[in-house]
Structure 1
Amino acid sequence: LSVSSSCFITLFVLFLWRVEDIADACKCSPPHPQKAFCDAEIVIRAKVVGKKTVSNAIKYNIQQIKMFKCPDQVIHAVFTAPSPAACGVTLDLNKEYLFTGELETGRMYVTLCGYNLPWDDLSAAQKKSLTRRYQSGCDCKIIHCTSLPCPISTTDACLWMDWGTNNGRNLACIKSNGSCAWQGVTCPRVVGNFDFS
């Protein structure tokens, strides 16, 4: 091999190694919204109003609309990693989101491993559960079953088998009489706008 061919092969191998490294950098399954709620330190509904790069993060300025879970404070910005490969979340300006994240030194951080969806993408059952159901089920575990068999050896867990559908995301895992089980959320049928904020 010539020197140039050898250099090219070396660079190509390094490139493939870097691509594989980036692909492996952020691995997590989309969580059930109740699990994301219970695991998060802070859960809010907010509108994204600005974006700025700060050191090794992206800062999104927000207007907080509703606090679902958090110490009593107002959040003015969310921070995330600069790329999806590093689990960074990409947000659209002037759009409302549900954010589930962590607090570090007074800053809210969100990642792809959380449940950070546009508010309009949430179902009515999910919006209602944010204030009335998820918190009451935080003593329960949600076990994500990706292939059968998926045995449960405890009574404080719900098996989530939501293959190819979003139906399970509309349920809440609630403890009753000492054991946990899936429960549906009854939402009223109304004509016109109905706001669960």
Structure 2
Amino acid sequence: MEIMSQCQRSVSWYCAGLLLGVVLLSPHGWADHPSMPAVGCSCPINHPQDHICHIADVVFRGVILWKERTETKNNSALIGSSLTYSMLTDKIYKRHPKIRKGREILVKTLDSSTKCGVTNLRVNEEYLISGNVMGGEIVISLCNFIRPWKKVTSMQKSALKSEYEENCETCTVVQKHHNRQARSTNDSIFIPIEPENVTADSLDTTSSMTCTYDPHDSALLEMEDCEVEYSACILYRHGSCRWQINRKYEKCVAKRHANQKA
């Protein structure tokens, strides 16, 4: 299958969600195995800078024109029932030959959130979309960074224009190591996990070229993620990478520290 061969060449943390959909739909998949528990969507928590630099093939802003449920064909990147979104692109942040500014494009996803499908995008609303190109199609899942444009922070909007991409080659976001404990939200499960070949075990987290990221801190405290919402891992003039400091980021971190002590 196209998605299988693509995932073998791609990054495992993105393909986990899409492969899950294939397994659930397969006649020999987990859903048909009497000894296996019910399986939902498991996704990593990654910083937007990781999506821009390493995970996504395309990142853009656009408006949903229409959506429809379809049965995908054998030559599609997805297998089984799926959703197709038609979007009008307004701004391209990570370019790919499949998309151009001001053009209508089709974006596909699996038709159930338990299979990591993105089912809740609304017609006439504008979204920031990160996605992957598989089998010649733009495909999205809950493992991608997708957010209504009106909820994108001012810092994220600024970083999309410059800081994220400009620091891809020089700075690396490294997740702090934890025992893998899933955090559930509705019918989806989010598991902090490092991108392939970028782990706290394989990299020196004290390196001057890395920024340590701990999604557990904010998740367990049930508060906004300071690094995701208000910072980027950037190269400073003294030659090392650090989280970008600004007033909102400092305020958020101070609140997180206070909650940790409470």
* DSSP-derived class of the 1:101 partner: strand
- For 2:161, the aligned partner's letter is T
Could you tell me how far 1:153 is from its partner in structure 2?
4.7
* DSSP-derived class of the 2:49 partner: helix
Identity over aligned residues, as a percent?
27
- 1:180 aligns with 241
Could you tell me how far 1:94 is from its partner in structure 2?
1.4
- 1-structure distance, mates of 2:88, 2:116: 23
Unmatched segments (≥5 aa) in structure 2: 1-31, 73-79, 180-199, 219-223, 249-262
- Residue from 84, 88, 96 that aligns with 2:117: 88
Which of the two has higher C-alpha Rg? 1
- 1:52 aligns with 68
TM-score (norm 2): 0.58
Change (3 A) 1:186 1:135: farther
Could you tell me how far 1:99 is from its partner in structure 2?
0.5
Correspondences of 1:23-42 after superposition (within 5 Å) = 23=40, 26-39=41-54, 40-42=56-58
- 2:214 aligns with 161
- For 2:226, the aligned partner's letter is N
Unmatched segments (≥5 aa) in structure 1: 1-13, 188-197
Could you tell me how far 1:103 is from its partner in structure 2?
1.4
- Residue from 171, 174, 178 that aligns with 2:231: 171
- For 1:181, the aligned partner's letter is R
The question of whether the paired residues in 2 share the 8 Å contact of 1:48 and 1:63 is answered with yes
The question of whether the paired residues in 2 share the 8 Å contact of 1:145 and 1:159 is answered with yes
* DSSP-derived class of the 2:61 partner: strand
Could you tell me how far 1:186 is from its partner in structure 2?
8.1
- 2-structure distance, mates of 1:125, 1:48: 24
* DSSP-derived class of the 1:117 partner: strand
Aligned residues: 170
* 1:67 and 2:92 aligned: yes
TM-score (norm 1): 0.75
Summarize deviations over 1:43-84 as a string: whole Å, max 9, x none: 000111111122232100111111111125325121111111
